[in-house]
Amino acid sequence: MKKIPLLVLGAALCMANIAVAATVTKSNSDKVIGQETAVLTDAPAVPPRITRKHATKVIVNLEVKELEGRLADGVSYTFWTFGGKVPGKFIRIREGDDVEFHLNNHPDNKMPHNIDLHAVTGPGGGAAASLTAPGHSSVFSFKALNPGLYVYHCATAPVAMHVANGMYGLILVEPKAGMSKVDHEFYVMQGDFYTQGKNGEQGLQAFSMAKAIDEKPEYVVFNGAAGALTGDNALKAKKGDTVRLFVGVGGPNLTSSFHVIGEIFDKVNHEGNTAAPAKNIQTTMIPAGGAAYMEFKVNVPGTYIMVDHSLTRAFNKGALGMLKVSGDEDKTIYSGKMTDEVYLPEGTSMRNAERSQAQAPTAKTKADRVKLGEAIYNNNCAACHQTTGVGVPQAFPPLAKSDYLLNGKAPTIKAVTGGLQGKLVVNGNEYNGVMPAWTLSDEEVANVLTYIYSSWGNSGDEVTPEEVKQHRVAPVKHVE
């Protein structure tokens, strides 16, 4: 009778010991020790696995750059990027880390930007704290409470436009236990692009807000361009290797049905969770603003095609990449028949450039001016003010029948050459946005404004290069 309580006591002591030990281990691994600067990589590269067994302070330096780049063969686009490429730099940290985030907006940029990291616990995911004007740098910090693979993106209004221009990337918060070693890790991110011109139309393409609102992209691509992962850019592995793909969807709109033709994912961590992989998956769905990672062993050499299994996106709009597996001459039907040419998206390099990139001619008549101005308008202004000049409610004021234009030519010339920001009332509606200053010549400003004045029920005035010269102002500095 007396033995039982003793046993119970012994068991209780024993459990208490275990509990104490567990607490010690936990607090050790939670303690933030030391400091390091995050290694950031451009897709498809991934920063090295984290081997440290404790949390640390991690400094992340990310620079926003707006730059023209290739979207498809003969098609270029002004991308807004986190680090110079689409998708943005891959960030890899560990659960429990204290992150000091520096968002730098390059002085050559035209727009303010910020960052919302889905790995952040806090209002806006960092967005309000990181709103940064061109030529400025913002700092905020957060603790990585939850492990997982997370999307980050710009959240500056109009948010969908910033995201559509390429402002997204992935941040991996490794669980405390770490991640297993594999032979290759790759970074792939899907995005939908909305260009004024149809798929394949050559030259620099402006953003179409109308197509974005309709969710009708001309391009759906991996890693920022059609062909970013095909041919010489294909991912590479050797027979017998284990491969881990970190796949995100920046959107802004489309969900990906991600699939690798000829492979079965041995493990999929749905929605970026680090706890429980699903096994033996054919196609995994990745939502806009979401991510997943998957592992598989490549047993057979050949070329494996990665697609969004909504297949016209893959074969007609660009969402197609390749993983080339080398190894013994064990030719499969895939490696035998699939060539880069066959699988390049249709239509991307078919059309000839109709427009010559030569110096724009000088207008001799008002009609010339209107015609030349239309092209300038479509390339520079239509993205926000829309091809029909109607603007976008709450974001971009109209130019069609705009009462602002009735103030006279001088304020309009000032707005275009110097930029415009702050509260503005057009046709009774308030706007509070930022229009960058345009680096256009006197001739170009004259032409685009003559086009605007001559269109959509406006006054029909002509603006001459002399008037532009007279009223031109230096670009206004953005204020925070």
Residue ranges binding Cu ion (CB under 5 A): 113, 154, 156, 162, 167
CA distance 102 to 138: 6
Binding mask 388-407 for ligand HEC (x = CB under 6 A): --------xxxx--x-xx--
**Is residue 412 at the binding interface for ligand HEC, with CB under 6 A as the rule?**
yes
The token duo for 107 is: 């002085």
Give yes or no for a contact between 442 and 376, defined as CB atoms under 8 angstroms apart. no
CA distance 82 to 205: 20
Kindly state the smallest distance separating residue 423's Cβ from Cu ion, in Å. Answer: 21
**Is residue 103 at the binding interface for ligand HEC, with CB under 6 A as the rule?**
no
SS (H, E, C) 18-40: HHHHHHHHHHHHHCEEEEEECCC
Where do the H-state alpha helices sit in 419-464?
Answer: 442-453
460 binds, among ligand HEC, Cu ion, none (CB under 5 to 8 A by kind): none
259 in a known ligand binding site: no
136 in a known ligand binding site: no
Query: Among residues 385 and 471, whose Cβ is nearest to ligand HEC?
Result: 385
**Is residue 429 at the binding interface for ligand HEC, with CB under 6 A as the rule?**
no
The token duo for 252 is: 């802004």
156 binds, among Cu ion, ligand HEC, none (CB under 5 to 8 A by kind): Cu ion
348 binds, among Cu ion, ligand HEC, none (CB under 5 to 8 A by kind): none
**Is residue 459 at the binding interface for ligand HEC, with CB under 6 A as the rule?**
no
Task: Give CA separation, 411 vs 14, 177, 257, 465, 472, in Å.
Answer: 81, 61, 50, 15, 9
Kindly state the smallest distance separating residue 169's Cβ from ligand HEC, in Å. Answer: 22
Task: Give CA separation, 285 vs 159, 215, 270, 309, in Å.
Answer: 23, 18, 8, 10
**Is residue 433 at the binding interface for ligand HEC, with CB under 6 A as the rule?**
yes
**Is residue 426 at the binding interface for ligand HEC, with CB under 6 A as the rule?**
yes
DSSP code of residue 403: G
Query: Among residues 159 and 426, whose Cβ is nearest to ligand HEC?
Result: 426
Conformational region of residue 302, where left means phi above 0, alpha means psi within -120 to 50, and beta covers everything else: left
Query: Identity (one letter) of the amino acid at 266?
Result: D
Closest by CA position to 168, among listed 186, 184, 187: 187
162 binds, among ligand HEC, Cu ion, none (CB under 5 to 8 A by kind): Cu ion
CA distance 163 to 70: 17
Kindly state the smallest distance separating residue 101's Cβ from Cu ion, in Å. Answer: 15
Give, to the nearest 10 degrees, the angle between helix 409-418 and helix 442-453.
130
Kindly state the smallest distance separating residue 260's Cβ from Cu ion, in Å. Answer: 31
Looking at 435, 437, 446, 468, which residue binds ligand HEC (CB under 6 A)? 435
Contact residues for ligand HEC, defined by CB under 6 A: 380-381, 383-385, 396-399, 402, 404-405, 412, 415-416, 420-422, 424, 426, 431-435, 438, 448
Q: Which residues are annotated as a binding site?
A: 113, 118, 153-154, 162, 167, 309
Q: Which residues are annotated as a binding site for Cu cation?
A: 113, 118, 153-154, 162, 167, 309
